[in-house]
Amino acid sequence: MKNFIIALLALVAVVVFSSLFVVKEGERGIVFQFSKIQRDATGGVVVFEPGLHFKLPLIENVRILDAKVQTLDDPADRFVTAEKKDLLVDSYVKWRIKDFGKYFLSTTGRTDRAESLLKQYINNGLRTEFGTRTIQQIVSGERAELMSGALAQAGKGAEEIGIEILDVRVKKINLPDEISNNIFQRMRAERTAVAKEHRARGMEQAEIIRADVDAKVTVMVAEAERNSRSVRGEGDALAAKVYAEAYNKNAEFFSFVRSLEAYNRSFNSKSDILVVQPDSDFFQYMKSQTKK
């Protein structure tokens, strides 16, 4: 009898323990009775809030679902703009379960399945928004409108699987590598062309300045040459005048001095040879000196 009572108490304890389940904060519970979701009188899915709850043991099973806000942050995807240009868009989505019954029936409670479906809705919305805008419009200030449009379009599909999309954000927009390289090459070619143009203009200005300086130098040299010739002419005229005045004062002495200068230049070197006639006027002062 005592063993029977102990066994009965143990059975009751097991039944009571298996009848209890706890839903933690940030979670929701759904009860299945023979693989059928438990519903209320209106046909809605019964969702158990956080706390301690009861179920029929061995008949009903509980599935716990995460009710917190989730983040979908996948690698960047490629989208085409209105001008047929490819962009690599890195975005993320904030979402949570709104209708736990729809969510479970659509995804069997698998988060990866839900995010796969959600990504399709988000990409469709973003593809539509990017396809109606140019790169300039996207970058210059229409990003908020773009995200709002994508959120509205994706939200319709997400409601069908019991998900509420809270926010869609575009983190980064890049050009594909091949397009970036083409743009960089075009920018480099444009900068090279501009540099060549500036260099050509500089060389043109240098030639103009050099020609102007050469012309000024030529004019200055010509003026200096003219002035030197004028000064030389004035000096020669003054020397001739001095010679003339000296000659007029004492012609004989002037002739004698000039003859001495001629003798000095003629016999400056011992190797010099002068062939003249003895009665030449060149030796007139020598002859007079000999007679004396």
CA atoms within 13 A on the CB side of 23: 20
Q: What single-letter DSSP state applies at residue 68?
A: S
The model's pTM: 0.53
Question: What does the buried/exposed string (b/e) look like for 154-182 if buried means 16 or more CB atoms within 10 Å of the residue's CB?
Answer: bbebbeebbbebeebebeebebeeeeeee
Nearest to 90 by CA among 146, 171, 168, 177: 171
CATH superfamily for 70-175 is Band 7 domain (3.30.479.30)
Q: For 6-50, write each residue's pLDDT tens digit.
A: 776 776 666 666 778 888 888 888 888 777 777 777 777 788 888
**Separation between Cα atoms, residue 9 and residue 3, nearest integer Å:** 10
Residue 137 has pLDDT above 80, yes or no: no
Of the chain, the percentage scoring pLDDT greater than 70 comes to 81
Residue 220 has pLDDT above 90, yes or no: yes
Radius of gyration of the chain (CA): 58
Residue 217 has pLDDT above 90, yes or no: yes
Average pLDDT, integer, range 251-266: 72
Residue type, 40: D
Residue 116 has pLDDT above 80, yes or no: yes
